[in-house]
């Protein structure tokens, strides 16, 4: 299983709130996108996971995030997803967001 | 089957875009909410529809909307959903949005 | 400032993913909704906050959640929002989700 | 002003509903994304529009869509956005969705 996968996101107008910055629940949507990408990059794309293991969605146990730099429409965000702790039944993924070289969330 | 059902929505901060008004795809989300309410008000709640007819979601054929008054956070919107044309395989619903007495969309 | 505010959410069809349960980023959207409610219940509704302090949105510093019970369309969720640690420049809010008496997230 | 711009969208897990297909309001989100792309392709990117004309968001007057082929997670959709009727104060854009060669919406 690959250890890191990279996802690129462009912040869209509709992802932002009246303050003009990313409405933060969207960061969690992008974490989900990055999670599927991580499995695909590990040779386990969504369709394969469903066929082989009957997996429909990952039961999420915990999510946490720290927000540092606000992101605005048209910003390009890079998410580096890496494997954290791997236990018998659970798996921890870490998503690091970068915006033009700065840590975004 | 009842002919009109009413749904009330409060516009939230996260429903609005950097212009400070409702990001318009959300109106379609609320139309969907109002559709389920309409069926529930007709004695066909979601769970009943699934059990009795094995329905999972309605295949939508057409959607259209006209936007008149921009809506902002904390606005209360009322959606009046009524039955339009009923054909053998299709059913037309009309959703009228009102905001404090003014037509919103 | 009141110490606890309660928000009720009905899980809608469109809030759920192909596994039939709430797509988890929506929980964070509801936390945001509950946050505005908390301030309104404390006598500081959104419009007041904007006028008095020129506040547009709250800069979020950290978010975290633990997901216990999956929620499905038409579930009613109650969010109890309470004040955690209050510092000079930051304020911690805790959102507890309940579904028919069970802790949902 | 260029007459057609193309946007590519990958359908994500979280874009789909319990029926396993795209929750239709998301198509309107993608129309919005495609609209900004159209202006950028015409040499009028978002930031330029804001600076030059003080534009924050486009007031949408009408939206309509016909849904033909359901789309599922990991589908690649191509949106061809073209200029329809251009009037003094309004402008009509047409978004055609394609999925692997089939018309999606």
Q: Is the pLDDT of residue C26 over 90?
A: yes
> Stretch C18-25: mean pLDDT, rounded?
91
Tokens 């955690």 correspond to C84
C13 touches chain D (CB under 8 A): yes
CB contact under 8 A, C32 and B45: no
A12 touches chain B (CB under 8 A): no
State the DSSP H helix or E strand holding residue C65, giving kind and residue range, or none if neither. Answer: strand C62-66
Which residues on chain B are in Cβ contact (under 8 Å) with C12? 29, 32-33, 36
DSSP A24: T
Q: Is the pLDDT of residue C65 over 70?
A: yes
* Greater model confidence, A73 or B65: A73
Which pLDDT band, with edges at 50, 70 and 90, does A9 fall under?
A: very high
DSSP A60: P
State the DSSP H helix or E strand holding residue D96, giving kind and residue range, or none if neither. Answer: strand D91-99
Q: Mean of the per-residue pLDDT values for chain C?
A: 83
* Greater model confidence, C101 or D98: D98
- Report A:47-76 residues touching B (Cβ under 8 A): 73
Q: Is the pLDDT of residue D61 over 60?
A: yes
Q: How far apart are CA C85 and CA A42, in angstroms?
A: 41
- Report D:84-103 residues touching A (Cβ under 8 A): none
Q: Is the pLDDT of residue B105 over 80?
A: no
* Greater model confidence, D14 or B63: D14
Say if residues A11 and C51 touch (Cβ distance below 8 Å): no
Which pLDDT band, with edges at 50, 70 and 90, does D105 fall under?
A: low
Give me A104's structure tokens.
């975004």
> Stretch D42-66: mean pLDDT, rounded?
72
Strand locations in chain A (E): 4-10, 62-66, 76-86, 91-99, 102-103
Residue D80 pLDDT: 92
Percentage of the residues of chain D whose pLDDT score is greater than 70: 83
Q: Is the pLDDT of residue A100 over 70?
A: yes
**pTM score over 0.90:** no
Say if residues A63 and C65 touch (Cβ distance below 8 Å): yes
Least confident piece of the model among A72-76, B75-79, C1-5, C56-60: C56-60
Q: Is the pLDDT of residue B69 over 60?
A: yes
Residue B100 pLDDT: 74
Least confident piece of the model among B37-51, C24-38, D9-23, D31-45: B37-51
Asked if B32 is an active-site residue, the reply is no
Residue D43 pLDDT: 82
Classify the phi-psi angles of A14: left when phi > 0, otherwise alpha if psi is within -120 to 50, otherwise beta.
Answer: alpha
Q: Is the pLDDT of residue B8 over 80?
A: yes
> Stretch D51-72: mean pLDDT, rounded?
74
Least CB–CB distance from B23: residue in A14, A19, A25: A14
CB contact under 8 A, B46 and C12: no
* Size of the C and D interface in Cβ pairs below 8 Å: 25
Q: Is the pLDDT of residue D95 over 80?
A: yes
Which residues on chain A are in Cβ contact (under 8 Å) with D46? 13, 73-74
Percentage of the residues of chain D whose pLDDT score is greater than 90: 38
Interface ipTM above 0.90: no
Say if residues C35 and C93 touch (Cβ distance below 8 Å): yes
Strands ordered across the beta sheet of C91-99: C4-10, C76-86, C91-99, C102-103
Question: Which residues are CB-contacts of C41 (< 8 A; sequence separation ≥ 6)?
Answer: C2, C5
Q: How far apart are CA D91 and CA D80, in angstroms?
A: 16
Q: Is the pLDDT of residue D76 over 70?
A: yes
Which pLDDT band, with edges at 50, 70 and 90, does A103 fall under?
A: low
Which residues on chain B are in Cβ contact (under 8 Å) with D61? 66-67
Name the minimum distance, in Å, from the CA of A67 to any CA of chain C: 5
> Stretch C62-72: mean pLDDT, rounded?
81
The pair phi, psi for residue D27, each rounded to 5°, is: -60, -35
Give me C62's structure tokens.
């950290």
Largest CA distance in chain A: 44
- Closest residue in D to B16 (Cα–Cα): D57
CB contact under 8 A, D32 and B23: yes
Question: Which residues are CB-contacts of D58 (< 8 A; sequence separation ≥ 6)?
Answer: D35
Tokens 């992008």 correspond to A30
Say if residues D46 and A73 touch (Cβ distance below 8 Å): yes
Pairing of strands C4-10, A4-10: unpaired
CB A33: neighbour CB atoms within 10 A?
Answer: 20
Residue A44 pLDDT: 75
**C-alpha distances in Å from residue C99, one per residue of A9, B74, B90, C38:** 34, 25, 35, 19
Least CB–CB distance from A29: residue in D14, D45, D46: D14
Name residue A16's beta-bridge partners: A22
> Stretch D3-18: mean pLDDT, rounded?
93
- Quick: pLDDT tens for A36-62: 999 889 887 776 777 776 666 666 777
* Size of the B and C interface in Cβ pairs below 8 Å: 36
Q: Is the pLDDT of residue C92 over 60?
A: yes
- Closest residue in C to A54 (Cα–Cα): C19
| Most confident of the ranges C26-30, C66-70, C84-88 | C26-30
Which residues on chain B are in Cβ contact (under 8 Å) with D64? 62-65
In a mutagenesis test of the B interface, which of A14, A18, A29, A73 is the best target, namely the one with the most B β-carbons within 10 Å? A18
Residue A57 pLDDT: 64
Which pLDDT band, with edges at 50, 70 and 90, does A85 fall under?
A: confident
B29 touches chain C (CB under 8 A): yes
- Closest residue in B to C12 (Cα–Cα): B33
Q: Mean of the per-residue pLDDT values for chain B?
A: 83
């Amino acid at each position: 299983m690959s250890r890191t996968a990279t996802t690129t996101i462009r912040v869209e107008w509709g992802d932002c709130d009246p303050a003009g910055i990313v409405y933060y629940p969207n960061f969690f949507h992008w974490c989900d996108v990055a999670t599927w990408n991580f499995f695909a990059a590990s040779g386990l794309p969504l369709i394969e996971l469903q066929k082989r293991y009957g997996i429909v969605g990952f039961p999420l146990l915990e999510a946490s995030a720290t927000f540092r730099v606000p992101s605005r429409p048209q910003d390009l965000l890079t998410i580096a997803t890496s494997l954290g702790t791997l236990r018998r039944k659970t798996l921890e993924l870490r998503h690091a967001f970068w915006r033009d070289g700065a840590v975004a969330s």
